[in-house]
Amino acid sequence: MKGKLVIGLVTMLIVALAASAYPQTYPTKPVMLMVAYPAGGSTDVGARIVASIAEKELGQPIVVLNKAGAGGQVGFTELAKQKPDGYYIGFINLPALNTIILDPGRKAAFDIDAFTPIINQVLDPGVIYVKPDTPYKNLKDLIDDAKKRPGEIKAGTTGILGDDHLAILMLEEAASVKLRIVHFEGDTPQVTALLGGQIDVGFLNVGGLTPRVKAGQLRVLAVMDKERSEFYPDVPTSVEQGYPTVISSSTRGIAGPKGLPDPMIKKLQAVFKKAIENPEHKEKMDKAGLAIKIMGGDEYGKYIMGLHEKVKKLVEEARKAR
């Protein structure tokens, strides 16, 4: 009995020592940071900013890898099936991830428990953009025209049942209008279509497009939030313009596959938190128009699950409308 107890204690000690050594020995090679959308989009911009700072703290290169397709589903699937060894992590975009899981038609190969939340970087409010030469000067102008021409105004999204698509559905319901929805694979192709006149209005986010707005290439009709954006302080919110239920945002944070060891999670959280709080990160994110919102640990996990429950109703309504 005494021998078994000694063996048990030795085993526990070995496990404890291995766990404590894990963060110090990891990583020994470059870490892949997956982005489920094309290069040049707002998620990609934020990822490259934080990766360039975090890799100095991590001691190994952090390589941003774009795995675009199916409104983020290709990249999220790739992330979910990785080994939980810390060498392949990625950005998860909410509510896009939630809606892919909740929509049976998407046949997702993963569920909400397939990921290990690490830390959130961005909370990016939804925005309605148009070209400067459009007759729309505010949200009322767009709604008035939509009522005159039901189903004719072409509105772009960054993917089926992503936050931008849900924002359109919210606006249609709140204003009793019908838009012609056109889906794209991320920010970049949608902006190209908007500037080229293939669509009339773009539903996107504040982040990534601020330089184009300042350059006069795009006009902002509304920020879909309760409070005005620090990047567009002169633009009224959807709430101010009479649509209190039209509130939309995209959160972008870093996660690993299910089963990532706790010591590794804590190390990655510490590394990315320090990078996100770095003044260089703040300066570059401000230039890109990306609003920082740090959430880590249990807070981030609770946010993901809370949003998952909130989005269920919207997904059900969207599926009925198909």
Radius of gyration of the chain (CA): 22
Domains and CATH numbers, the chain: 2-124+250-321 (3.40.190.150), 125-224 (3.40.190.10)
pLDDT at position 22 is 52
Q: pLDDT (tens digit, 0 to 9) for every residue of the chain, 322 residues total? A: 545 444 544 444 444 444 444 556 899 999 999 999 999 989 999 999 999 999 999 999 999 999 999 989 999 999 999 999 999 999 999 999 999 999 999 999 999 999 999 999 999 999 999 999 999 999 999 999 999 999 999 999 988 888 999 999 999 999 999 999 999 988 889 999 999 999 999 999 998 788 899 999 999 999 999 999 999 999 999 999 999 999 999 999 999 999 999 999 999 999 999 999 999 999 999 999 999 999 998 999 999 999 999 888 878 877 776 5
Hey, CA dihedral for 121, 72, 55, 83, is it positive or negative?
A: positive
pLDDT at position 17 is 43
Q: How many CB atoms lie within 10 A of CB 220?
A: 21
Rounded Cα gap, residues 193 and 201, in angstroms: 10
Rounded Cα gap, residues 248 and 226, in angstroms: 10
pLDDT at position 317 is 75
**Which two tokens mark 308?**
């998952």
For helices 279-288 and 42-58, the axis angle rounded to 10 degrees is 170
- Give residue for tokens 């649509």: 243
Q: Could you tell me the pTM of the whole model?
A: 0.81
Q: Nearest 5 degrees, angle CA 279-CA 282-CA 285?
A: 150
Rounded Cα gap, residues 80 and 279, in angstroms: 32
